Amino acid sequence: MKSLVIISDTHRNRAAMDRLQGIFSECDYIVHLGDLSSDGGYLRGMFPDKTIVINGNCDLDKTGDDEKVLEVEGVKIFMCHGHNYSVKQTLARLAAEAAERGCTVALYGHTHEARVDELDGVKLINPGNLSRYGRNSYCYLAVHDGKAVEKIVTLEN
């Protein structure tokens, strides 16, 4: 079994990321889905071998990838920030892109709203946000033998 901790939209709230140091140290992958990718770079500095950084729409420095596909334990995972797929209006474009790439899981941020949906055989996961505004959350994703099980975790402020 492999585990991923997925965060998004931290917007320079490094204190929230620091609160997750224990879980970051124990997981196999840390995924930062953008806004701000420099925050992902901060995590990459501490966990260089397991941090994946994706650029968001607020990322002028572009320290990560715009999109990425990762295969873990037989599950192909598509990662993006989501703004290029109009995720505030629909998840159909994101699901279609993930499916076209052979992925059964798509990770995205941008909306600041934690949610899990399934569309056309693709599980769509938004971990929410770790910004200073709104409800803070992240996603813990366990992957084993071709299956992915997610848990959205809400943090108390």
Q: What pLDDT, in 10s, does the model give residues 89-144?
A: 999 999 999 999 999 999 999 999 999 999 999 999 999 999 988 899 999 999 99
Q: How many helices (H) and strands (E) does the chain have?
A: 4, 10
Element (H, E) at 23: helix 21-26
pTM of the shown model: 0.97
Q: Taking residues 37-53, what's their average pLDDT?
A: 96
Domains and CATH numbers, the chain: 2-154 (3.60.21.10)
107 preceded by a cis bond (ω within 30 of 0): no
Q: What pLDDT, in 10s, does the model give residues 7-16?
A: 999 999 999 9
